Amino acid sequence: MPSTSSRNRAQFVAGNLKSPGYRFARAINVGLLPKEDPALREATPQTVSSRGIDEVRKYYTDTVRPDLTAIVVVGDVSAEEAKSVIEKWFGGWKASGAKPDVALPNVPLNGPSATTVPDPSQLQDTVDLSQLVGITRFDHDHYPLQLDNHVLLLRSGS
């Protein structure tokens, strides 16, 4: 018999899959990404209920590791002080096994599509015009484009 937390998690996921906000975000991803893109995987009540603690621990061990981690220090602290504290708390942290490839595959540019997601709780319609652009986070223009997007969102009140 599943635990209470497992049942609660499954109920939350079931409700989330029906929510207009989730369905809206999902429709955008389906419109932008190729059919087999890993970002289109969905949690379902069945998948979250079938995961055991051993699987969670293995995933954690495989993915939360020092060779996939960056530690950033900000503030009025010397490099020596920062190094001392980091070595104290993280010095024994070692990776085991081969470093996994965590880079998602490149995504082709999207074609046109349209989807309507009903939301009876809203009095006003929302229109989202989304498009993939041909740059990655390693391109020179990536971060200026991210900043521009945030400025546009702030001005639109989103």
List, for residues 54-72, the tens digit of each pLDDT value. 998 988 888 899 999 999 9
For residue range 95-138, what is the model confidence (pLDDT) as tens digits?
988 998 888 778 899 888 889 999 988 888 888 888 888 888 88
CA 127/CA 64 separation, integer angstroms: 38
Q: Full-prediction pTM beyond 0.75? A: no
Q: Is the pLDDT of residue 158 over 80?
A: no
Which of the four pLDDT bands, split at 50, 70 and 90, describes residue 3?
confident
Measured from the Cβ of residue 139, the count of other Cβ atoms closer than 10 Å reads 12
